[in-house]
């Protein structure tokens, strides 16, 4: 049975203005390029990623938006990194990233629920072994999931309160608390307080 997760748009495929503007530029085009580079048909990718061919076609044509779990399944099949779909890499390895100049990626259009933005500490580049972001989670915000992938993760709560669910265990974390776990365990998180929470989050290999 196919799991089409989240489709953003009305029955005719049109999307609200704010959702269209929030979509990563060229997501569908990059997805199609990655698929064609691997010599895969729409049906082959849809079957492997456990989604419908029609939904995948809409995503490639910019008429629908996948949930984050679905996007993880697609990139796993395509052997790509999610960051590849979001940002341009100019082949320059930076060292200093000043406050107020770091890119912020809003996840709302690609996930169930709202309220999470990733502030890039290490801009995506194929040359980086680590991925590091500050996860800003608004009140009521939570990640899609649970998700699983290869690697390790570590985090530090900078502000607010967070509920972290790893496998069948749930942890209530407050400012100053830290965590570490293997990424192959199902995991997701949510804001558990009454103000915005921020988490300094590092994982390897880069997956988003």
pLDDT at 11: 34
Domains along the chain with CATH numbers: 17-80 (1.10.260.40), 104-204 (2.60.120.10)
Strands 161-166 and 187-191: what pairing?
A: antiparallel
Model pLDDT for residues 126-177, shown as the tens digit of each residue: 556 788 999 999 999 999 878 888 889 999 999 999 999 999 999 999 999 9
**Phi, psi at residue 140, to the nearest 5°?**
85, -5
pLDDT at 133: 92
C-alpha distances (whole Å) from 95 to each of 81, 91, 122, 135 are 22, 13, 9, 21
Model pLDDT for residues 60-69, shown as the tens digit of each residue: 888 888 877 8
Strand partners, 188: 165
Residues 87/159/146/178 CA torsion (nearest 10 deg)? 100
Residue 56 burial (CB < 10 Å; 0-12/13-18/19+)? buried
Cα–Cα distance between 183 and 179 in angstroms, integer?
Answer: 12
Torsion-angle region of 50 (φ positive above 0: left; ψ -120 to 50: alpha; else: beta): left
pLDDT at 94: 64
Cα–Cα distance between 189 and 141 in angstroms, integer?
Answer: 9
pTM (2 d.p.): 0.58
C-alpha distances (whole Å) from 55 to each of 60, 100, 193, 196 are 9, 37, 36, 34
The helix (H) or strand (E) run that includes residue 40 is: none
pLDDT at 39: 78
pLDDT at 166: 97
End-to-end CA distance of the chain: 27
DSSP 121-150: SS---TT-S-EEEEEEE-TT-B----B--S
Weakly modelled stretches of the chain, pLDDT under 70: 1-26, 83-94, 107-113, 124-128, 206-208
- Mean pLDDT score of the chain, rounded to an integer? 79
């Amino acid at each position: 049975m196919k799991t089409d997760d989240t489709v953003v748009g009305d029955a005719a495929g049109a999307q609200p203005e704010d959702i269209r503007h929030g979509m990563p530029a060229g997501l569908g085009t990059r997805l199609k390029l990655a698929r064609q580079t691997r010599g895969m048909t729409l049906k082959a990718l849809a079957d492997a990623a456990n989604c419908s061919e029609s939904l995948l076609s809409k995503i490639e044509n910019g008429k629908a938006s996948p949930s984050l779990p679905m996007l993880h399944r697609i990139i796993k099949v395509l052997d790509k990194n999610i960051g590849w779909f979001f940002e341009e890499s100019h082949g320059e390895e930076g060292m200093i990233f000043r406050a107020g100049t770091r890119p912020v990626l809003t996840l709302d259009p690609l996930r169930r629920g709202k309220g999470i933005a990733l502030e890039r500490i290490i801009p995506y580049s194929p040359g980086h072994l680590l991925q590091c972001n500050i996860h800003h989670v608004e009140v009521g915000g939570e990640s899609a999931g649970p998700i699983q992938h290869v690697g390790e993760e570590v985090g530090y709560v900078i502000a607010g309160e967070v509920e972290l669910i790893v496998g069948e265990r749930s942890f209530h974390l407050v400012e100053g608390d830290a965590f570490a776990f293997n990424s192959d365990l199902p995991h997701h998180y949510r804001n558990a307080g009454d103000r915005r929470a921020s988490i300094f989050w590092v994982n390897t290999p880069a997956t988003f």
